[in-house]
Every structure is written in C-alpha cells, then in structure tokens.
A and B are shown apart, each in its own frame.
Chain A
Amino acid sequence: MGRFIVRRLASMVGVLFAISVLTFLIFQAIPNPAVRLAGRFPTPATIEHINQQWGFDKPIYVQYLKTMKLIFTGQVISYTQQINVVHELWTLLPVTASLAIGAGIIWLSMGILFGVLSAWRSGRWLDRGLTVLSMIGVSMPVFFLGAVMSYYLGDKWGILPAGDYVPIQQDPWQWFVHMLMPWFALSVLFIGVYSRVLRSTILDTVNDDYVRTAKAKGLTERQVMTRHVLRNSLIPIVALFGLDFAAVIGGGAILTETVFNLHGIGQYAAQSVAALDIPPVLVITLFGAFVVVLIGGVVDVLYAYLDPRIRL
C-alpha cells in the first residue's frame, strides 16, 4: 500500500506538470498576448511592464518559468479589474467549498440510500417510484430547478432565503440556511445518477459467487448485504464521487452559483471568460485541473484501500 501511494504521487506530479504546460500554451495561441492581457486602453508603459513580468519577449521556456512563478507566488494581476487573481481565488474558495462539501454529503448519502432501497425492492413499487424520481432528477437542468426552488421556496412562500452567501464564521446557522437550497439544487442530478448506478451494481453483485458463499456461511441477510454486497458495490460509487466532487470544487458548479448568486469560483470563471480577462481564466483552469488531479489521487488511494486487487 505504501508503495502504491508513492507511485501514485509520482505520477500525479507528472500529470500536474503536463497540465501546467498545456494551460500555459494558451498564450501561444494568442497573438500579441501582452496587449490582450493589458485590458482596454493600456498605456505603453503597462504593456512594457507586462512584457517584462511575463517574459513574452523571451524564449518559450523562460516564459513558462516566469508564468509559473507568477502563479505560484500569487502575483498574477487581472489588469482589467486591477485585482490580484490568486487573492481573489482564495476569498472565493470558501463559497465554492461550502457548496461542494455540503452538496457532496447530501448527494452521496441520498444516492446510496435510494440506490440500496431501489435494489432491495427491485421490480416493486418503491423501486419504480425511485426510478421515475431519479429520471426526473437526471433530466432536470439545474438552472430550471434552481429558479423554481428559489421562486417558490424563497420569494413566494419565504421558507428559505433565495440566495446569497453568509460566511460560516460570521453566522453558522444563517450559513446553513442559505446553503440549503443550492445544496439540494446541485445534488438532485447526482442523486439520480448515483442511485441508478448503485442499484444496478448491487443487483449484479447479489448474483456473484462470493455472495452465495457468504450465505452458505450462515450470515444473516443483513450481514451478507452490508459486509459483502454493499462493500463491493460501493467501489464504483467512490470513483464517481471523486470525479464529480473535484469538478464542483474546481469551478464546475457555474450554473448553481449563478442561480443562487453565490460568488464562487465557477461564477468568477464565467465572468472572466465573458470579459475576455485572461489571467483569471488561466489561474482558474490551472486551479481546477490541480484540484481534479489531487482529489483524483486521494480517490485512487481510497479505491486501493477498498479494492485490494488494484494495489499492484
């Protein structure tokens, strides 16, 4: 297991390097990047400064090193808005992390619960009902569901606040109440997917030979289900969860953040793209990729823990 982790870390470093190179190459696709970066109506002095800082007049490997240095020392400036991009990212991260962690807990637990119930009563009414529900959940776009929720629950009936973010350190209860709707709006799709995947994996696993062995041992139905069937069926769910969770943290929940007016990383990325503001796009892309790779690494270790066959 130790060797597995070391090798996984080494390959992660390789992947991260490759991603940083690919992301950096965006400048090679832009004609005259210094002018592009400088925003509207730049002075010649600004352009000169940018050229200096990013090394656009130097050979490509110097450019790469300078760019990475700027990013990792937190000195990337969005010239359009005159703000430090990395600082901005750190202030937005709690919003996105609140959304991702809360929603992740909800979709994982509900997905597992519905999947297990569905498999347990497969072919009966409960299963059919859950199947219909999950189909609705999967096909419901979050901008529609979010808008409906925020109109009825928020504006019309006033049950929950219709958006905005309250920092957790300021008022934990208000933070929780404000996050409830975004959490559920984001989770619905994933609950649908996870419960369907888990249902079918369980129904496959139930027919495996080792489950028959477990029954022949004299275990109770419940012990067979939890120790053997569920334990094996959760392996693909863990892999799915790692990818989805990383994507949401890395700025993938743009729609949810927009509908509920949460100033998170997704929204920042969307605004920057709309404004053709390149430095934030560069930093967020790199950040998102890093998060996916890091969480992917954690998931792989967890995966190896759950399934000894892949600890090679």
Chain B
Amino acid sequence: MSADGARGASTDGRLLEVQDLKVSFRTEDGVVQAVDGVTFGIDSGEVLAIVGESGSGKSVTAMTLMGLTRGPNTSFGGRALFQGKDLVGASEDELRKVRGAQIAMVFQDPMSSLDPVYRVGDQIVEQIRVHDKKISKAQALDRAAELMEKVGIPRAGDRLRSYPHEFSGGMRQRVMIAMALVNSPKLLLADEPTTALDVTIQAQILDELRTLREETGAAVILVTHDLGVVADIADRIVVMYAGRVVEHGTLDEIFYDPQHPYTWGLLGSIARVDRDRSQRLPAIPGMPPSLLRPPKGCHFRPRCPHAFERCTDVPELAARLPDAPAHLDRCWLEPEQKRKLRQVGDQIGLASRETVIS
C-alpha cells in the first residue's frame, strides 16, 4: 500500500495535509534538493515531531509551510493543504493572511528572533494588529500582557515595556511563544524551540507548549533533533533523512518498533543514564550525503551496514507491517530481518559494519 493510500482515507477534515512536498534551491554549485517528496498530515490537538540531523530538510519543510523559503532561487513541488487550501501555491497575499493568524511559528534562536529596537509589548501588539485592524492599542496591550502571563512571564504588565535585551534566553522564547499564540493559531510550528536553551528551561518551555496545546486545541509541529524532547511531548513522529521521510509512526511505534536503520541509529546514539557508561556512545558512521548529488536509491544506503542490491532502487514510504497500517517506512528489509538486525547488545541500535561482516 502506498503512502497516499494509507493516509488517503482520512485526508478529509485533517488540519494540514502535506503531499509530496518538494523544495529545491538553485545555488552556484547546482540544484540542492532540500526536501524531496515529503508527505504527512496532522490533526487539531496533535503534536507531530519532525526529527532528523542538520540538513535533513526538517526546518525547510516547516518554513515552506509559512512561505518563508520563497525566493527567486527556490522552486517547489507538491501541495500542503491547510484546511483544504494549498499553501505552496498560494499567492503572497493569501499566505500573509494565514501567517501569524492561523499558522504561527516559533524559531530556534530566541536571542536574535525579536527585533532589538522595539519593546516586547509593542512587538506582540504588532502581531495582534496586523490581523485585527479594529482593536485599540490599549486592548491589544492587555491581550499581550494576558498571553505573557499565560506563558509564565512574571510581572507581565511591567515587562511589556522591556526591550528584548533585558530578557534572558528562556524568557525571550516565552515572549516568542506568547507572540505566536496571541491570535489563537490553529497550527503552531516550533522550529527547534528549545535547542538554544538550558535543559531546565527546555523542560519549562515544553511544559508551556503542552499546556497550551491542551487549552487551545492547536496542532503543533515540532521540528527537532532532540529525541529526549520528542519522547516528552510528541504524539507522532516523522523521521527525515536527506530530504526524505524515512519513517513515520506514533511515538511508541518509533521508539519500540523502529523499522528504518537510520531510526535505529538515532535511537542507539541517545545517551542514557540507566546504561553502562564505560563504553563509547555509538554514533552513525559517515556523513549525511550532499543534497547536490544525492546517492542513487535509498539516501541512507552509503551509511547503512545492512544495505543490499535492492537498495539502489528508492524504497517507497509505505506500511510494511500487517498490524500497523499507519506505521510507514522506506526500507526494503523484511520486518523479520529488521527485528533481528536492529538488536545491538540488549538495545536497539545500528550495528557497525565490522559486526555485520563478521
């Protein structure tokens, strides 16, 4: 069954349905296929995590939904239906009405994502008034204070008048979240929202996101490379590698029954406190491929110790387990083989090449 088939039945009524999304950038060295046929969907109230290493196309995917990757050297393919309307082909005017109103985004680096020359209150007010021309400045400020209170900024009323440089990183990220939520968006895109923050602050920010999701019923797409964060908050996971989705399933499916060798590698390289730490932390050998000249067939093939002849054909993103029709992956191996191969010692991991040969 193909990916479209698997998801096709439930397409109607989904909040966002990304279908075969392609993004490529023209550079001096050639065309970089940053996103190569990404398909996934999300319902209201759901948290979907997109994970992958740097350069896997996860941020580009999220930014494309907001139209932020548009430019003279970018070309797109596929569709992203948001409440039935395509965002990829939408005009700049149509897109502007959606941005900040129905879809909002929180960026990776809170230190530089706020304009240094305006008070944070005014920046939130700007966000309100772009989409609501009738609201008075005083009303908008009240609303801004209310939201800042909600995301855990103490003395919010006073802090409206502060400038971004007077806040810590965690507080700035809270401001960004308040700003993103102020127009009650239906979809929140969070692009590595906790990457630049301390671990304790990370946990607090994730808590905020969780509460807000419960209170507002908004859908959240969380882009991250931190599997700890994912385990904490996500309902479903999309694993991306070199511009493609390599696996897609629920949190439990991905963590306890991962089907793609790349996912095994990711899971195997998490530092865990409940394990013997005398040994070196396993890493996936090699580097992600250049997206200028991606390898033929499966993009993970050059780094995969389990690769065989068939891997030079691109595996489809499809359900390969009879009992889990929504658990999709791109790997030619049989589920039986996978179950054996992914077992490295007493945990899931990616076997090293030497082990495989011997």
A residues contacting B by CB (< 8 A) are 208-210, 212-221, 223, 227-228, 231-232, 235, 306-309
Contacts and interface: CB of A to CB of B under 8 A. Distances in A.
Nearest to A212: B68
Contacts of A219: 96, 126, 130
28 contacts: A209-B112, A209-B113, A210-B112, A210-B114, A210-B116, A212-B68, A215-B68, A215-B99, A216-B104, A216-B105, A216-B107, A217-B100, A217-B126, A217-B127, A217-B179, A218-B97, A218-B98, A218-B100, A218-B131, A219-B126, A227-B126, A232-B115, A232-B117, A235-B117, A306-B117, A307-B117, A308-B165, A309-B165
Given A217-B100, A218-B98, A218-B131, A208 B68 contact: no
B101 interface: yes
A218 B185 CA distance: 12
Nearest to B176: A213
A238 to B, nearest CB: 12
B113 A210 contact: yes
A232 B116 contact: yes
A221 B299 CA distance: 38
A210 B176 CA distance: 11
B115 A228 contact: yes
B163 interface: yes
Nearest to A216: B105
A216 B66 contact: yes
A210 B130 CA distance: 16
Interface in B67-118: 68, 92, 96-101, 104-105, 107, 109, 112-117
Contacts of A216: 66, 68, 99-100, 104-105, 107
A58 to B, nearest CB: 53
B235 to A, nearest CB: 24
Given A217-B130, A309-B165, 14 more contacts: A209-B109, A210-B112, A210-B113, A210-B116, A212-B113, A213-B107, A213-B114, A215-B68, A216-B66, A218-B98, A218-B101, A227-B126, A228-B115, A231-B117
Given A212-B107, A213-B107, A218 B113 contact: no
Nearest to A306: B117
Contact of B99 (A218, A227, A231): A218
Interface in B306-350: none
Nearest to A210: B115
Interface string B111-140: 011111100000000110011000000000
Nearest to A309: B165
A219 B130 CA distance: 6
Interface string B138-167: 000000000000000000000000010100
Nearest to B119: A308
Nearest to B109: A209
A213 B115 contact: yes
B130 A218 contact: yes
Given A218-B99, A218-B100, A307 B116 contact: yes
Contacts of B117: 231-232, 235, 306-308
Nearest to A231: B117
B125 to A, nearest CB: 11
Interface string B190-216: 000000000000000000000000000
Nearest to B180: A216
Contacts of B97: 218
Contacts of A214: 115
Nearest to B128: A217
A219 B131 CA distance: 9
A3 B114 CA distance: 26
Nearest to B103: A216
Contacts of B100: 216-218
B65 to A, nearest CB: 11
Contacts of A223: 130
